[in-house]
Structure 1
Amino acid sequence: MFNAYYFRTYITLVETGSFTRTAQRLEMTQPGVSQHIRKLETYLGKPLLERQGRRFILTEAGRRAYDYALKLFAEHEQFRHGLDDDSLDSGECRIASPGSVGLMFYPYILGQQQMRPNLTVNYSFAFNHEIITDLINGRYDIGIVTEAVKHPELSCEVWLKEPLCLVVPADFAGSTLSDLMGIGFINYYDGINHATMLLKENYPDAFRSMAHFRHQGFTNEVSMVLDAVARGLGFTVVSRLVLETSPWQRQVKELNLANGVDEVLYLVHRRGATLPKRYEKLLSGFREQRGHEKVYDKTPN
């Protein structure tokens, strides 16, 4: 029969290299230690030790059993900490967002994990509709989306607002809508919506529709769209999150506009669910890093 105590005894024996010290550390008798090891060997059907007088070395099965035992107890501790919803520094978080958000939010989370070793984060990059479906099916606890969601099973609230940036090649010298139409538009998921909002606000008399622009291409990976701009193939409109994380920042520039427009990011989770406090620490910490207040604005749902 499987017995975790036998594995614990075995780990201690390997680490101390002594039956006597193992018995002392675990407050057992030495015969009790020997009995645990024999029963573990019987359970596994393999000898774990090659005894050489008072010393021993591990067999191949013994080395594998030791590695397994370490993993077993590490996962046990992670599971135990994960049950504590009040813990800020341990447990599992399951989050999904579009790539435009994840480009900066995911590296922030990785930094938090480095400081909090008992925190585990499973992060997925996905489109809005995929996130909603997976939230309903229980794959994620939290989704971050770029459109407000109205669904009877989900709660939606404003989480963050990030400025939209009109990005052009570094050597672009124009400023008018005609100048932009001359170089064409690089599209991506949400690209047309973002460009429409920003251009309509800043060129109200001249702008009609993105259909009047020459479309120079499309990519479903927002992190790559500025590569096309850097090569002089056109302009685009992206969140500042994308611009600040782009490796092509020196090859492009943001066109100064009179009127700013924000991309609104929404936090979505299952209605009525009580989220562990570790989520609040991650979400609020990132908001503070971006210079936003912590209070969420409720959105009808």
Structure 2
Amino acid sequence: MFNAQYFRTFVTLVETGSFTRTAQRLEMTQPGVSQHVRKLERYLDKPLLDRQGRRFTLTEAGRRAYDYGLRLFAEHEQFRHSLDDDALDSGECRIASPGSVGLMLYPYILGQQQMHAGLTVNYSFAFSHEIVGDVLAGRYDLGIVTEPVRHPDLDCVAWHQEALCLVVPADFAGTGLAELMGIGFINYSDGVNHARSLLRSNFPEEFRSMGQFRRQGFTNEVAMVLDAVARGLGFTVVSRLVLETSPWQRQVKELSLSRPEYETLHLVTRAGTQMPRRYVRLLEGFREQRLQELYGHGEQPVDLA
């Protein structure tokens, strides 16, 4: 029969290297330690120790049992913390978002994880429709999507807004729609919708539809779309999160426009569930940091209440 205590005793024995010290640490008798090891060997049907008097070395099965024991108790601690919805700095967070959000949110969360050893994060980069399916299936507790979701089994609330940026090659000299039509458009999964919104707002008399622009290519990875722009292949419209995290920032530039438009990010959870406090803290911390950064760019916060 499986007994986690036998694994606990064995792991402690390997770490201390001594039956006596193991008995002291676990407040057991030394014969009790030996009995636990023998019962674990019987359960696994493999010798775990090569005994040489009072000394021992691990067999191959012993090394594998020790590694398994470490994983077993680490997963146990993660599970135990995950049940505590009131914990701010410990437990597991399972989050999915598009790349446009995750390029900055995921590094922020990793920084929080470095500061709080009890916090673990499983983060997935995915498209919005995949995120909705994963939250519905329980694979992730929280999804971040760029469009509102209406589903009877999901709750969806607006969370944060990022400005849309019209991005052109660094040597682009134009300022109007005609020049943009001349270089063409680089598309990605949300590209047409974002470009339509921004161009319609800023060129109301000239803009009719995205069909006016020659399509210069498509990528399903938003992090890579600015590579094409940097090579002079066309323009695109992305959220500021993408522009600020791009390795091609010096090879592109944002075209200044008079009317701002925004990408609204929405939080998706299963209906009727209360988000644990650790999620709330991560999301509020990131949003607060972004608002402080955006003030430095001269932008104004958007009230989503």
Q: Same fold (TM over 0.5)?
A: yes
Structure 1 stretches lacking a partner, 5+ long: none
- Is residue 2:154 matched to residue 1:147? no
Query: Secondary structure of the residue that 2:291 maps to in structure 1?
Result: coil
Deviations 1:16-37 (A, max 9, x none): 2221222122221111111111
Deviation at 1:151, TM superposition (A): 2.0
> Displacement, 1:137?
2.5
Tell me, in whole angstroms, the C-alpha distance in 2 between the residues paired with 1:36 and 1:255.
70
Specify the alignment match of 1:69 in structure 2. 69
In structure 2, the partner of 1:227 is 227
Deviation of 1:148 after TM superposition, in Å, equals 1.5
Equivalent residue, structure 1, for 2:14: 14
For 2:179 and 2:203, the matched residues in 1 are separated by 12
Distance 1:118 1:208, change over 3 A: same
Give the SS at the match of 1:291: helix
Q: How does 1:119-198 map to 2 (within 5 A)?
A: 119-198=119-198
Aligned equivalents of 1:138, 1:10: Cα separation in 2: 35
Maintained 8 Å contact 2:186/2:229: yes
Partner of 2:296 in structure 1? none
Code of the aligned partner of 2:138: G
Alignment of 1:1-301 (within 5 A): 1-291=1-291, 297=304
Check whether the contact 1:167–1:235 (CA below 8 A) recurs between aligned residues. yes
Cα displacement string for residues 120-148 of structure 1 (whole angstroms, at most 9, x for unaligned residues): 22222222222222322222211111112
Shift of 1:172: 0.5
Deviation at 1:294, TM superposition (A): 11
Deviation for aligned residue 1:249: 0.5
Shift of 1:295: 10
Q: What do the CA deviations read for 1:176-219 (whole angstroms, capped 9, x no partner)?
A: 11111111111111111111111111111211111111111111
How many Å separate the matches in 2 of 1:294 and 1:168?
25
Which stretch of the first structure deviates more once superposed, 236-245 or 122-131? 122-131
Cα gap change, 1:294 to 1:193, in 2 (>3 Å): closer
TM-score (norm 1): 0.94
Change (3 A) 1:209 1:91: same
Q: Distance in 1 between matches of 2:151 and 2:39?
A: 55
Distance change (3 Å), C-alpha of 1:296 and 1:154:
farther
CA deviations 1:74-96 (Å, max 9, x no partner) are 11111111111111122222211
CA contact (8 A) 2:85 2:278 kept: yes
Measure, in 2, the Cα distance between the counterparts of 1:296 and 1:119: 30
Cα drift, residue 260 of structure 1: 1.1
> CA 1:296 to 1:95, structure 2 compared with 1: closer, same or farther past 3 Å?
farther
Kept in 2, the 8 Å contact 1:287–1:294? The answer is no
User: 3-state SS of the aligned residue for 1:122?
Assistant: strand
Paired position in structure 1 for 2:295:
none
What is the letter of the counterpart of residue 139 of structure 2?
R
Q: Choose 129-138 or 263-272, whichever is displaced more.
A: 129-138
In structure 1, C-alpha distance between the alignment counterparts of 2:216 and 2:194, rounded to whole Å: 16
Offset, 1:297: 3.5
CA contact (8 A) 1:159 1:296 kept: no
- CA RMSD after TM alignment: 1.8
Structure 2: distance between partners of 1:172 and 1:216: 16
User: TM-score, normalising length from structure 2?
Assistant: 0.93
Kindly provide the CA deviation profile for residues 33-53 of structure 1, in whole angstroms up to 9, marking residues without a partner as x: 111111111111122222222
Identity %: 76
Instruction: Describe the SS at the equivalent of 1:233.
Output: coil
Cα gap change, 1:79/1:43 in structure 2, threshold over 3 Å: closer, same or farther?
same
Cα distance in 2 for residues equivalent to 1:125 and 1:91: 21
Structure 2 SS opposite 1:28:
coil
Distance 1:58 1:30, change over 3 A: same
Is the contact between residue 161 and residue 302 of structure 2 (CA under 8 Å) also seen in structure 1?
A: no
Residue 297 of structure 2: aligned partner: none
